[in-house]
Amino acid sequence: MDLENAFEANSAGKIIGNELILEHVHPNLAGYALMSDVFYRTMKAQHVLPPDEGKEMSFQQLQQEMPITSVDSLAGVYRICHLRRNWPFSETPHDIQSLRDSLKITSEEEGLAFSLSFGHLPWEDAMSGLYDYYSKERDLVKAERVMATLVLEHPAEPALYEKAAMFCGELHDYDNAIFYFGKAFYLAPSFERAHYLFVLCLRSDRPDEAMPYLDYAINNNTAGMNLLPVKAAAKEISGMKKLLAADSTNPVLLNRIARAYLRMGDKEGAKKYAPVP
């Protein structure tokens, strides 16, 4: 796929402008999203990438879930505003204070973004301040977005993955909680992380994925928990799910799976197969 044609097709009158470009050279967020989508589809068409196996992210999903905080976005806007108020866009230069006055900054995000852009505030400090603010406000969605951004910036820090996983768990976003805990476990295995992972996998009805973490927890059982019945129930569920694939409405199998989940105290897993009182 031709990148220039893709940009023209997504621009008014096929003239590449503000929809996708920040000033006169660099793409904005929408432009970078489109660019990445074109690169991805081209590599997929040329078989550079393996099949997606049902995990492909749509372009719309990419735009919605880009891990960009409001502070990052505002900092970009402020820098471009400053650029356009000076040469070659304007014959009369403007100082930073006049820019701040014109922007009428009032919110916490706006203040952090301006300090990040022009006040020598390090990016990590800006993210820390933003995380503290969202945590205080109990805005879990935005706090998790900050952690996702930090994870990308520091991909070898297991504690950051774990924090992101905790927020996802509170939001009942179990798929991402498993993803982040899995990354943390890969970098620094521990009983606690294995415990979170097998519980989340079972709660998400993914018993096969739970097995390696159950085995690790059993072999490194610092909490002294009796996990053998849990493993037995998980193996039973896994086997019955294979049978259910050929007979998806079998009431005996459905009830047996539900009862196995209930034995583990997992009502969420049980509800997927039979009514739970």
pLDDT tens digits for range 123-138 = 999 999 999 999 999 9
pLDDT grade, residue 91 (50/70/90)? Answer: low
pLDDT in the model for residue 225: 94
Q: What is the mean pLDDT of the chain?
A: 91
Euclidean distance between CA atoms 215 and 231, whole angstroms? 8
Among 238, 159, 160, smallest CA distance to 198 is for 238
Count of residues in the chain: 277
The residues near 96 (Cβ < 8 Å, ≥ 6 apart) are 82, 118
Cut 0.75: pTM above it? yes
Q: Helix H segments across 154-273?
A: 158-170, 174-187, 191-203, 207-219, 228-244, 251-263, 267-271
pLDDT value for 53: 67
Residue 36 near residue 62 (C-beta atoms within 8 A):
yes
What's the CA gap between 257 and 268, in Å, rounded?
12
pLDDT score for 218: 97
Whether residue 169 contacts residue 236, with contact meaning beta carbons closer than 8 Å, is answered with: no
Residue whose token pair is 């820390």: 128
- Mean pLDDT value of segment 150-171: 95
Q: What is the maximum span of the chain, computed from C-alpha positions, in angstroms?
A: 80
CA 53 – CA 107 distance, rounded (Å): 43
Tokens at 6, concatenated:
């893709």
Q: For residue 130, what are the contacts with CB-CB under 8 A and spacing of at least 6?
A: 69, 70, 71, 108, 109, 112, 146
Return the percentage of the chain with pLDDT > 70, whole number: 97
- Dist CA 47 CA 257 (whole Å): 40
Q: Among 17-26, 111-120, 240-249, which is the least confidently predicted range? A: 17-26
Whether the CA torsion 187, 191, 194, 196 is positive or negative: it is negative
| Residue closest to 227 by CA, chosen among 272, 197, 183 | 197
